[in-house]
Amino acid sequence: MANPVINALGRKLRLGVIGGGPGSFIGIVHRGASTLEEYYEVVAGVFSSNAERSIKHAAELGIDRGYATAEEMIMAEAARDDKVDVIAIMTPNNSHYQIACLAIKQGFHIMCEKPLTNDVNEALDLVKKVKESDVECCVAYAYSGYPMVREAKAIIDAGELGEIRMVQCDYVQGHLAQLTESEQQGTNWHMDPDIAGPSLILGDIGTHCYHLAAFVSGMEPSELSADLATVVPGRDADDYTGILTRYKNNARGSFFITQAAAGADHGLYLRIYGSKGGLEWHQEQPNQLLVRNIEQPTKILQKGGVGLHAAANRVSRIAIGHPEGYREAFANLYTDLAEVIIAQQTNTQEDPLARNFPMIEDGAQGVKFVQAAVVSHQNNGQWVRLT
């Protein structure tokens, strides 16, 4: 089958990556996901805060254009005839804003890791800059790329559950159930609030819960009440949060989020109930969606199976019975972004379903969520409005 990018542009989209050098989990995911459907080729990158190591790592990865710093890469690429089209930002959280500002100014499209920034004003400024430009920005809330998450959203958008009344999203991990060697040595930047933001648990995985619940339900909470805690002795960063949410239509919700549940694996679990029925999705069994209806038997919908909405089928690339997972979900975000960019560059009509990727406004809303939860906790769980 012909590659739609090459058909439209005569070439693949060029990707430059900043961060995610050798040994980085998220770097491998981004590079692999971007090239999974052959829409992109990775042609440039910055892979370390050490200039020499950055250029060396680029060569080790087979990437010809290795740069010493993000600023050097963005400015040098902007001057090239064969410059990159998209810049992927996967550096520590406190650097996202500065890099994104420079990339937007030079006209590059962006894939940015979450959280978008550590500061609400910076996040809102990025929204303004993107809206005033021709740049597209995707924020890497990858769980929204799963086919059965897109199916869950389509079911709710079609009104099949009626009015939404309850939203629950849990994210229960266990890899920080004990103090790690890196945090004891002070080498894990995720534990440093000056770099990672005011709350480890909220910025690292809490924003995923928040976005997934909002993406599928189609509703943002109007206010929340949050409890943050450090449950592992000797740790300084938050490793637990429990949050209650209220919605404008009187619906209620809750989040149970931790990285310190001894023995837990990944534990991302979404449940939404409306006036006619409900649905459940477990990320550890991502290819199935449980759909309940008060007037019909419970159904288990299968990725690639019959009866799914176009939004799910569009991002299911392998036939039924063949599982798709995390990297494929990430690839769906890259593909969505590519299709929007192609439509823009060729002045053609874009597929409306391509706009399912998390946009800059979603990133800013995640930063607002973190701020509201911190303020609530500091005031003993007081209800705080999410404006």
Per-residue pLDDT 10s for the chain (387 aa) are: 467 777 888 899 999 999 998 878 999 999 999 999 889 999 999 999 999 999 999 999 999 999 999 999 999 999 999 999 999 999 999 999 999 999 999 999 999 999 999 999 999 999 999 999 999 999 999 999 999 999 999 999 999 999 999 999 999 999 999 999 889 888 899 999 999 999 999 999 999 999 999 999 999 999 999 999 999 999 999 999 999 999 999 999 999 999 999 999 999 999 999 999 999 999 999 999 999 999 899 999 999 999 999 999 999 988 888 888 999 999 999 999 999 999 999 999 999 999 999 999 999 999 999 999 999 999 999 999 997
Inside any domain, residue 177? yes
Inside any domain, residue 241? yes
Inside any domain, residue 229? yes
Which range marks the domain in which residue 9 is found?
4-143+333-359
123 and 152 co-located in one domain: no
SS3 assignment, position 253? strand
Distance CA 58, CA 1 (A): 31
Q: Which two tokens stand for residue 17?
A: 């990556």
311 and 201 co-located in one domain: yes
pLDDT of residue 2: 61
SS3 assignment, position 6? helix
Distance CA 369, CA 385 (A): 10
161 and 196 co-located in one domain: yes
Domain containing residue 261: CATH number = 3.30.360.10
81 and 204 co-located in one domain: no
202 and 309 co-located in one domain: yes
Q: From the CB of residue 166, how many other CB atoms can be counted at a distance below 10 Å?
A: 15
pLDDT tens-digit map of 297-308: 999 999 999 999
Distance CA 145, CA 128 (A): 25
